[in-house]
């Protein structure tokens, strides 16, 4: 059963300003919560292109989105291939280039991936070390943990998980794998705990949370894919088109915030000029100055929403 609680669904779809005849992209279809809401607002001439690389999500979406017929196009793809996907969809093209009215990113791992123990995403369930969103790719968490050098493991734990005991954890992992391969999430959880001092283990949630996040990001190159997709999204948005991004941790949110800021319209005239004479060459304006966060009502039914932040910008 593919059940997915969609975070900030109303706020993000509302922020896209759906037009009945518009063309929209859900870059992270997951359980199709956002996709269903977008599709429900489209008329016969509207189009939603929904991307995902997870076969379970794709199969589920065929059923969930079936009522919307050809208003929805479901595509198996990583969102780093956004521009290529749009170029192969004639309805997304205008004057020889992709021009869509809205693009949505929801960067949370879908609840089913976390809840299905065998996928290896969860530190609560013992399973084979995997963590691939797309199971046709080669790199797994097991390969990283058993084959990468200690300094590289420590680097990803620190950079992607903001784990301050990254070197100690990496040393414990390398020592353990010299005796026998590390096969399961349960084994890895115990090694992570061993690498964190007892006092630190007693505070701040599950001790393996940061390391598991880091490995998942590394296995799926999530941050690299997100940066590439953001760059492409600006080229693919029509004037007044909007981009909405839901992030769940500080690394993604920082990338999004810095990217939006770099694209803003800015006056570069000297402060003593009586009027603006520069071209203000930005490509975006912010729709929300500060990120939108989940309401208390949403938090009451979905604790995973507590770290979610929604940022929206519009193409000039």
**Predicted local distance difference test score (pLDDT) of residue 115:** 59
The strand pair at 309-315 and 292-293 is best described as antiparallel
Q: Residue 278: its pLDDT value, please?
A: 77
Over 70: is that where the pLDDT of 42 sits?
A: yes
DSSP character at residue 36: H
How far apart, in whole angstroms, are the C-alpha atoms of residue 68 and residue 64? 9
- Do β-strands 97-98 and 93-94 pair in parallel, antiparallel, or remain unpaired? antiparallel
Neighbours of 21 (CB within 10 A): 11
Q: How many CA atoms lie within 13 A of 297 on its CB side?
A: 3
More confident residue, 64 or 114: 64
Percent of the chain at pLDDT above 70? Answer: 96
Which residue in the block uniquely carries the two structure tokens 């940022």? 311
CA gap 178, 1 in Å, rounded = 39
pTM of the shown model: 0.90
User: What number of helices (H) and strands (E) belong to the chain?
Assistant: 14, 10
With cut-offs at 50, 70 and 90, classify the pLDDT of residue 91: very high
pLDDT of residue 203: 86
DSSP per-residue letters across 216-274: HHHHHTHHHHHHHHHHHHHHHEEEEEEEEEEE-SHHHHHHHHHHHHHTB----S-TT-S
Decide which of 301 and 232 is more confident: 232
Contacts of 136 (CB under 8 A, 6+ apart): none
Lowest mean pLDDT segment, chosen from 110-119, 236-245, 269-278: 110-119
Question: Angle at which helices 150-161 and 166-177 pack, to 10 degrees?
Answer: 140
Residues 6+ apart with CB under 8 A from 278: 267, 268, 269
Q: What's phi and psi for 292, nearest 5 deg?
A: -85, 135
Instruction: Give 254's Cβ-side CA count (13 Å radius).
Output: 6
More confident residue, 122 or 195: 195
Residue 226, pLDDT > 50, answer yes
Q: What are the start-end ranges of the H helices in 88-149?
A: 111-115, 141-147
More confident residue, 114 or 180: 180
> What local confidence, expressed as pLDDT, does residue 1 receive?
45
For residue 276, the model assigns a pLDDT of 80
Return the pLDDT at 277.
81
Cα gap 128→107, rounded to integer Å: 24
Quick one: average pLDDT of 122-127? 91
Q: Does residue 278 or residue 235 have the better pLDDT?
A: 235
111: pLDDT strictly greater than 90: no
The listed range with the strongest mean pLDDT (1-10, 108-117, 171-180, 203-212) is 171-180
For the chain, the first-to-last Cα distance in angstroms comes to: 42
């Amino acid at each position: 059963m593919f059940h997915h609680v969609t975070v900030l669904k109303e706020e993000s779809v509302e922020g896209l300003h759906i037009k009945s005849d518009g063309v929209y992209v859900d870059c992270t279809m997951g359980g199709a919560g956002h996709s269903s809401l977008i599709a429900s607002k489209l008329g016969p001439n509207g189009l939603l292109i929904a991307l995902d690389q997870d076969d379970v999500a794709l199969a589920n979406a065929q059923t969930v989105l079936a009522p919307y017929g050809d208003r929805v196009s479901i595509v198996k793809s990583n969102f780093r291939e956004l521009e290529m996907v749009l170029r192969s969809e004639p309805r997304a093209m205008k004057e020889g280039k992709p021009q869509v009215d809205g693009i949505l990113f929801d960067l949370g791992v879908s609840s089913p991936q976390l809840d299905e123990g065998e996928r290896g995403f969860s530190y609560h369930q013992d399973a084979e070390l995997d963590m691939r969103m797309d199971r046709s790719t080669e790199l797994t968490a097991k390969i990283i943990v058993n084959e990468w050098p200690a300094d590289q493991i420590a680097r990803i734990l620190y950079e992607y998980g903001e784990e301050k005991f990254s070197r100690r954890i990496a040393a414990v992992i390398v020592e353990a794998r010299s005796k026998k391969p590390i096969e399961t999430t349960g084994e890895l959880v115990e090694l992570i705990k061993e690498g964190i001092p007892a006092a630190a283990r007693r505070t701040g949630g599950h001790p393996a949370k940061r390391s598991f996040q880091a490995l998942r990001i590394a296995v799926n190159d999530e941050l690299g894919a997100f940066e590439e997709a953001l760059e492409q999204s600006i080229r693919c948005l029509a004037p007044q088109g909007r981009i909405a991004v839901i992030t769940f941790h500080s690394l993604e949110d920082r990338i999004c915030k810095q990217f939006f800021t770099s694209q803003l319209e800015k006056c570069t005239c000297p402060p003593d000029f009586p009027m603006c004479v520069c071209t203000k060459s930005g490509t975006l304006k912010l729709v929300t100055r500060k990120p939108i966060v989940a309401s208390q009502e949403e938090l009451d039914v979905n604790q995973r929403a507590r770290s979610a932040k929604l940022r929206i910008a519009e193409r000039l």
